[in-house]
Structure 1
Amino acid sequence: MNRRDLLIAPAALAFAAGADAQIDSAPVRILVGAPAGGSTDTLARALAASMGTALGRAVIVENKPGAGGNIAAEAIARAAPDGRMLLMSFTSHAINATLYPTLPFDPVKDFTALTCVATSPSILVAHPSVPAKDMRELIALAKARPGQLNIAIGALGSSLHMAGEAFKMQSGVDIVNIPYQGTSPAVQDLLAGQVQLMFAAVGNVKAHIQAGKLKALGVSSAQRLPAFPYVPAIAEALPGYESSAWFGLFGPARMPAALARKISDAARDALQQPGMRKRLDAADAMAVGNSPEQFSAFVQSEILRWAKVVKFSGARPQ
């Protein structure tokens, strides 16, 4: 090595170190394929605050709603696998694999599964005029009156829609779907008695149940919820039934294993923080925090599981 090389080498090393430092300190963007203020957005923002501390970098949440989360998912599928862009997705990531005839990405191969952040069960509620006080009575009533009961759907193809379809498929009942453009108008019509039944997020109907304006017939989780210990799990009347929404963190495909593990660990550590636990409790969600390998296997099993329900429902994207 000559004198010129000796002079250049340290400069090159210093430049490379500076570039690495710049990459390490660059903000992380978490895309959310849902509007601001919803459950996915709320959880993403709570997670971002705690992850930023663990990673030593700013973590920013950006909303890219539309097409059931597919717009945000496509952006991440096309992103560089450098950890700067992540996706906070939800159950529709698995449902859309069958719901949409074609997708501009592969929901498994084009992503690195990092961790399942949380799950959130729903609750089947009825207008007080429905003459059934529990799930067994509802199933008997629906079988005695095929096609005469109806159920509100806040969004076609959503996890709440599929919760209802899974119930119908497993119980063999014929209940008519009444689609709405959003959860709020569906809940309002349910309160007014314009529709009879609805699978809803717990937070959207908790106050109405407590006020006696709606009847809680069953929760979609495998066990009863601490918030409603007197409301049976649907599985108590329909063994094997379970349908909870989930929220998960993904990166682009081909992320280096060490980088994926670092981000996954930061997210999982964030889920243990008291502030994050408080936010999850407020959203009636339960922390998961599994490994990248476990989450990847879970996503693949969810795609297969929901494919059967989507096909049964005959649903098509709006």
Structure 2
Amino acid sequence: MTTSSVGRLRARPAEAFLHNPALGPLGALVVAIIVFSLTTSTFLSVDNLSLVVQQSLVVATLALGQTLIVLTSGIDLANAAIMVLGTMLFARLVTEGSSPVLALIVGFVVCALLGGVSGGLVTWLNLPPFIVTLGMLTVVLAAGRLYSQGNSWPVTDPVLNVLGEGGYLFGQIKVTHGMTLAVVMFVLVWYALTQTSWGKHVYALGNDPEAARLTGIHVGRTRFSVYLIAGVIYAFAAWQALGRIPNADPNAFQTGNLDSITAVVIGGTSLFGGRGSVLGTVVGALIVAVLRSGLTQAGIDSLYQDVATGVLVIAAVAFDQLARRRSR
């Protein structure tokens, strides 16, 4: 076997690693689980692993909507604020006597409209997504505080709390309705991105908008639809949040937007668009939850947890840059 042949054989695993955006994060997740299982006595317990998954649900759902937007080379800094406004709409309307179904419908419509407004400004006024969603973040935060008048609402309605309920798989593993809903949403979005023409258009738009337009793709309509769908997903995240913590608080999830971006980036989705996967986002959200749970059980200060998460984000972006250079 020649030296060049050996070189090609060695390069194949590296090439596969670089071109599969979910492979690296998946390996990191496995390593983190092994490390914390060996260094703590409670991490690998069934109850703790179930809790880790439950704790990742809201951020994972926000990250699902964020993934769609990032795939088009955009970003949404307002997603957590939209979600929090959704929780307040749900809770306050029910508290004031509305039916929970009507409250859910109103909350979903408002979240979708807010996502659509961002998408419209980005699409038809050609404004930078960062600036648009930064402005939307400020507007929605202010609107939420005005609407709440500084109050929070405990949520006792079973319809609003239903996603926190559930049963036990094999009699030991707690599975909530929120987990089931999350699986359904991720599968549906995965199918839409990988098996439909709309999904191909999303990736094409992220790779090169002008090339996508020249091939006949309706770039504006595709970009707008992504923001609109993301708004609906944020409403599901709001429902998930009330299942986790039955209290609608205008000051909740203040770092939710950054956590969702972290999950997306760590999961291998390129901030430059056109590259990434739903599976990677799931893994990214789990990595964040596993790190925080494991480091907490190991007695590590929360500030060091933030340092570890930041290092992972930088490493993920560096890996993405390397992958893009190797693919050229």
Larger fraction in strand: 1
Higher relative contact order (CA 8 A, sep 6+): 2
Range into which the TM-score falls when normalised by the shorter chain? under 0.3
Q: What TM-score does the superposition give when structure 1 sets the normalisation length?
A: 0.25
Larger fraction in helix: 2
